[in-house]
Structure formats: C-alpha cells, structure tokens
Amino acid sequence: MAQSADSETGDSQEVFSGWMNRDELAASLGVQPKTLAKWQNQRIGPPLVRIGRKVWYRREAVQDWLRKQEGFGTGAVRK
C-alpha cells in the first residue's frame, strides 16, 4: 500500500525535528546563507550533515558551537 504525500511530509518533518537547514540557521543567526557556506569551507562554522545537496544543522550542535564561541571576540579593545 502506497503512502500519501501528506503522510510522507509528516514523516519528513518528524525525521528532521531538531534540525534546521542552512536558510533557517542563517535567519536565526542574522547572517546570509553564503556566510555559513564560507564558514563551512573554512571549517569554522557549526557542525553539519550533508544529504545530497542539502545541508542540515542539529539545533543542539549549533547551541554547543555558539557556547564555544563565547569569549573569542576578534577585535582588539581600544582605549
């Protein structure tokens, strides 16, 4: 028996619960998706999973990555 398109969409949403795509993460961080792609190439961004051409980020891993960024400001303090 074949599944309906609605049931497949529901399964997909369940599988990706706790995950976000590049556009969603970029919007959450206030950066452009191309910035995340650049960080990926430089190996400085949050961990990701690639499925075909799609990139997915686990919310918990992004939060861990953000915590690790604390205290690593790039600019010098001027007096």
Q: How far apart are CA 27 and CA 33, in angstroms?
A: 8
- Say how many domains are in the chain: 1
pTM: 0.73
Q: Is residue 1 part of a domain?
A: no
Domain containing 54 equals: 14-66
For residue 4, the number of C-alpha atoms closer than 13 Å in the C-beta half-sphere is 3
- Structural domain contains residue 24: yes
CATH of the domain at 50: 1.10.10.10
Per-residue pLDDT of the chain (79 residues; tens, 9 = 90+): 445 444 555 677 788 899 999 999 999 999 999 999 999 999 999 999 999 999 999 999 999 999 998 886 665 555 5
